[in-house]
Amino acid sequence: DTGVSQDPRHKITKRGQNVTFRCDPISEHNRLYWYRQTLGQGPEFLTYFQNEAQLEKSRLLSDRFSAERPKGSFSTLEIQRTEQGDSAMYLCASSRKEGYTFGSGTRLTVV
Partner 1 sequence: KQEVTQIPAALSVPEGENLVLNCSFTDSAIYNLQWFRQDPGKGLTSLLLIQSSQREQTSGRLNASLDKSSGRSTLYIAASQPGDSATYLCAVISSDYKLSFGAGTTVTVRA
Helix (H, G, I), strand (E, B) or coil at 5: strand
- What's the rounded Cα separation, in Å, for the pair 75 and 89? 16
Q: CB of residue 104 vs partner 1: minimum separation in angstroms?
A: 4
- Binding string, residues 9-48; x marks residues near partner 1 by CB under 8 A: ----------------------x-x-x----xxxxxx--x
Q: Which is nearer to partner 1, 81 or 111 (CB)?
A: 111
CA–CA–CA angle 50, 105, 40 (5° rounding): 110
How many CB atoms within 10 Å of residue 111?
A: 10
Which residues of this chain interact with partner 1, rule CB under 8 A? Answer: 6, 31, 33, 35, 40-45, 48, 56, 89, 91, 93, 95, 98-105, 107
